Structure 1
Amino acid sequence: MATSDALAFRFFSLHVVRTTRLGPSLVRVTFAGDDLAHFHSDGRDQSLSLFIPAEGRTEPGVPVEAGENWYAAWREQPDEERAVMRSYTLRNLRREPDEIDIDFVLHGVEPDAAVPAGPASRWAAKAAPGDKVQLIGPAVADNRAIRFRPPAGTDLVLMWGDETALPALLASLETLPAGTPVRAWIEVSDAGDIQDVETEADAEVTWLVHDQTGTEGSPMALGAIREAGLPPAEKPYVWLAGESGAMKELRRHFVGERGIDRRQVTFVGYWRRGLTEEQLREQPED
């Protein structure tokens, strides 16, 4: 972390308290630890960096003692020692006791899966109380890793996310003032992954259960959104998060076809089809 970031973000040593299966493709892992007394976040789509132990190890190998140079020291570790780093969003933060929830999408953990699970899915599927992790998270509540920020005067919020964005989307919905007009589209892999939506906003949420054809982009969501009649609005705000290819198509729709000011569109690519997070991290930013 750079010097300026070190004031807003820090390492947290945590352990698993419990796991809760939310659906066929989703599991919630609850973490605790003395360090969480110093964890502060306004929620919404709060981004986190989670470090899980390398295969066959019980301790996440993260050179915290390297201070600001931790990343270079982490990259230099042998593969068999280096912790696996993955990006997630905060689902819940609770006090007394201090706990956080992170929801994981389980890809490929089934015995007959066409594509084998990655290390994070394998870890989350078997996570048990006491399992140790490291996490980089916020030490101040309002920080740059929160992207969902409807400007003052917003009179319509439009949202799309796939299952990887589900925790961020639902957490953001929960923060909106009562009566805020919202139209949201959420894609999940299985109807069993559909969750209850708790919000005081005037939210119309459309759940889309996608097929497994592996089609690039998100033609199903794009079609549903194109066909949707939206309430009139002078200052709409758009938040898009999930697979990068789908997100770009939807952004083009809202800006090019709906005429929404591109400055009022927030888009966050959580993953890219065909790439691991390691490969995505090496890609130049768009």
Structure 2
Amino acid sequence: MTTAVVAPFRFFSLHVVRARRVGSSLVRVTFAGEDLRHFFSDGRDQSLSLFLPHPGQSAPAVPHELGDGWWQGWRELPDDVRAVMRSYTLSALRRDPDEIDIDFVLHIPAGPASAWASGAGAGDRVVLLGPALADNRAIRFRPPGDTDLIVLWGDESALPAVASILESLPAGQRVRVWLEAHDAGNVRELATAADAEITWVVGEGSVDALREARLPAAEHPYVWIAGESGCVKALRRHFVRERGIDRRRITFVGYWRQGMNEEQLRASE
């Protein structure tokens, strides 16, 4: 396979090093490969596209030339051959040796990515579309310099991003966080030096909990919300219409949509 840079992004040929549970329905998979020496990221909510093999395949089927026309070439492969593509957030990047972590939610019933992650083992091969530049457009968490309060909301699909964002915040930064977990076994401590209050909601109800919450007074708040598209849109409307926050100070990302797989979601967008 020939790799190519799609500035500022690149395709990486990787393999699984290990997989371990980090929650009742969360699996952290560690990947390595020589290509990772070209992988750079400032972290936070760094988005990645992961290509996975179908059952019975030893490696994901992707176009031989992964250049500017990769999307069309990938789409033209037969449905039962074409690699499964899913979007994830970078959980961690380490050097010496070069490794990255990606967290997977194990759904019931399992989709193709969830099924792959539940059986991932050392040596399993994947292809990743990720950053070749540390500061890139797939990092969306960008609070303005005058921000005096950060508000974060996410469901389990956004947990890796929220965890990484919290780790990046400086001491004294005020931040209020709402996280939704479908299973109490996925609730965990999140490391941060910031002045953070983290509210976990087990089951549904985190949207209403945030709507009803009394936020600290702030002149220049910044809001980051990510997860299921319908919830994200509802919260964005809430912050703009009911709390009067400038829409330019709100970052919102639909990671998934109820009733749709990623191919259907991309097509709808």
Alignment of structure 1 residues 254-269 onto 2, 5 Å: 254-269=239-254
Report how far residue 7 of structure 1 moved: 2.0
Alignment of structure 1 residues 38-187 onto 2, 5 Å: 38-108=38-108, 116-187=109-180
Q: Deviations over 1:147-166 (max 9, x none)?
A: 00011010000000000000
> In structure 1, what is the Cα distance between the partners aligned to 2:79 and 2:235?
37
Helix, strand or coil: the match of 2:137?
coil
Q: Does 1:247 align with 2:232?
A: yes
Report how far residue 66 of structure 1 moved: 4.5
Aligned equivalent of 2:258: 273
Count matched residues: 265
Q: Is the 8 A contact 2:6 2:67 kept in 1?
A: no
Helix, strand or coil: the match of 1:103?
strand
Q: Spell out structure 1 runs of 4+ moving beyond 4 A.
A: none
Amino acid at match of 1:264: R
Please give the root-mean-square deviation of Cα atoms over the aligned residues, in Å. 1.1
Report how far residue 250 of structure 1 moved: 1.0
Q: Is the 8 A contact 1:14 1:35 kept in 2?
A: yes
Report how far residue 256 of structure 1 moved: 1.1
Residues 66 and 138 of structure 1, relative CA distance in 2, 3 Å threshold: closer
User: Which stretches in structure 2 are left out of the alignment for 5+ residues?
Assistant: none
Q: Does 1:223 align with 2:208?
A: yes
Identity of aligned residues (%): 66
Amino acid at match of 1:260: I
> In structure 2, what is the Cα distance between the partners aligned to 1:244 and 1:261?
20
Helix, strand or coil: the match of 1:29?
strand
> In structure 2, what is the Cα distance between the partners aligned to 1:62 and 1:257?
46
> In structure 1, what is the Cα distance between the partners aligned to 2:41 and 2:162?
16
Helix, strand or coil: the match of 2:67?
helix
> In structure 1, what is the Cα distance between the partners aligned to 2:44 and 2:23?
22
Report how far residue 232 of structure 1 moved: 1.0
Q: Is the 8 A contact 1:55 1:80 kept in 2?
A: no
Match of 1:207 among 196, 200, 205: 200
Q: Deviations over 1:48-95 (max 9, x none)?
A: 000001222111111142521111111111223211000001010000
Aligned equivalent of 1:217: none
TM-score, scaled to structure 2:
0.96
Helix, strand or coil: the match of 2:103?
strand
Q: Is the 8 A contact 1:12 1:137 kept in 2?
A: yes
Residues 256 and 13 of structure 1, relative CA distance in 2, 3 Å threshold: same
Helix, strand or coil: the match of 1:91?
strand
Q: Is the 8 A contact 2:52 2:60 kept in 1?
A: yes
Report how far residue 222 of structure 1 moved: 2.8
